[in-house]
Structure 1
Amino acid sequence: MFRILYFNINFVCNNSCIFCFSHNTFFDNSYLIHKNDIIEILMKYKVSSNDRIIINGGEPTLHPELLEIIRLFHKTGAEIIVYTNGRKLKDVDYCCKLVRMVNRIVVPVHGEESVHDNITQKKGSFIDTICGIKNILMLNSSKLELKFIVTKNMICSDFSINNFLFCNHYEPSSVA
């Protein structure tokens, strides 16, 4: 049986999604879970291969110690899932390091480019996210889960999830 340990490791984000209800998210660097905090948690709760660790934020890939934190989690044998907007994963080297240590990476898509950028309120976020998705697929497609956030904007744009997957030759391990 799994225990699920959910870590919001920061409140920093490089998007400003219109649906985000966290008043702290965006560029608040005052809240970070540090590597030493993780070591303390691992010892206190005796985290093991029977556990599932979910890493979120803000945007967890913007945490300065993320890869070190994931290394600590990885040593426990626990299942590791990272929820990310995928933008930083356009850096192939960074993406490769992350993919090697986690079991699954969940990346949201909000629709076609203009809808996605409108929802994230960041021009170019769609292109960054797609580049990150491609890098994950190139490294290990079985670790990618695409999460389509269905909104009125997506529906009105005639965005088709099936066409999106087919046209981009995406074969993630799962689609939510």
Structure 2
Amino acid sequence: MINVSKLYCGLAGQSDALRYSSEKTHRPIAVYNCTVRCNLKCLHCYSSSGASKSASELSTSQAKELISQLADYRCPVVLFSGGEPLLREDIFELIAHAGKVGIKAVLSTNGTLIDRSRAARLAGAGISYVGISIDGPELFHDKFRASKGSFQATMQGFANCRKAGIRMGLRFTITKHNAGQI
């Protein structure tokens, strides 16, 4: 949604400015699918995610080098996605490294793994924003994510982020099956 009031009053944040500004000085953001591992089996998933680590998944040092190279290109934002990025044991280290080299770190997650400890670690690592996926009411969401209880776990993850002071939002995958429920 375009927040016209924020744009008109000059109160737009960085993401608003990147989206709606006509300035040619803005740089593209990077979406880094940092793992194909996932704890869910979502019906709509494009990444063939599963429990196994891919041979092509970058090591911690390789991932940090990639993030440093993005900084060299003046990339303003790196969005950690996947799979489920919280399954990377080093995700907090990678988020902190992004901040260290001047890149805002953003996380796209299903939210089910964000307990209080992980929320605190995300905040401590310097995460700028967490986008959490919800696909409709509880029964639909659990079916769509192929995991009973995932809706409640996701909502708890959202609450844990809020308590940790993390800026966040909900994300939706709209299909013909849930368009009337969102």
| Residue 134 (str. 1) matches residue 156 (str. 2) | no
For residue 36 of structure 2, give the secondary structure of its aligned residue in structure 1. Answer: strand
* Aligned partner of 1:69 among 65, 69, 94: 94
Alpha-carbon distance change, 70 to 43 in structure 1, aligned in 2, over 3 angstroms: closer
Contact 2:30 2:75 in 1 (8 A): no
Number of aligned residues: 155
SS at match of 2:121: helix
Residue 98 of structure 2 corresponds to residue 102 of structure 1: no
Give a deviation string over 1:103-122, Cα, whole Å, max 9, x none: 11001111111100000001
Amino acid at match of 1:97: R
Summarize deviations over 1:15-72 as a string: whole Å, max 9, x none.
Answer: 111011223x112212422210023224444448752111101000011111111111
Unmatched segments (≥5 aa) in structure 2: 1-25
Rounded to whole Å, the distance in 2 between the matches of 1:123 and 1:77 is 39
* TM-score after normalising by structure 2: 0.76
Q: Comparing both structures, which one devotes a greater share of its residues to helix?
A: 1
| Structure 1 spans left out of the alignment, 5+ residues | 162-176
Tell me which residue corresponds to 1:28: 52
Name the amino acid aligned to 2:54: S
1:6 to 1:47, Cα distance in 2 relative to 1, 3 A: farther
Say which of 134, 154, 160 aligns to 2:178.
154
The answer to whether the 8 A contact 1:34-1:65 is kept is no
C-alpha contact 1:12 1:26 (8 A) present in aligned 2: yes
Match of 2:168 in 1: 144
2:110 is matched with 85
> Aligned-pair RMSD on alpha carbons?
2.0
More strand by share: 1
Indicate conservation of the 8 Å contact 1:48/1:77, yes or no.
no
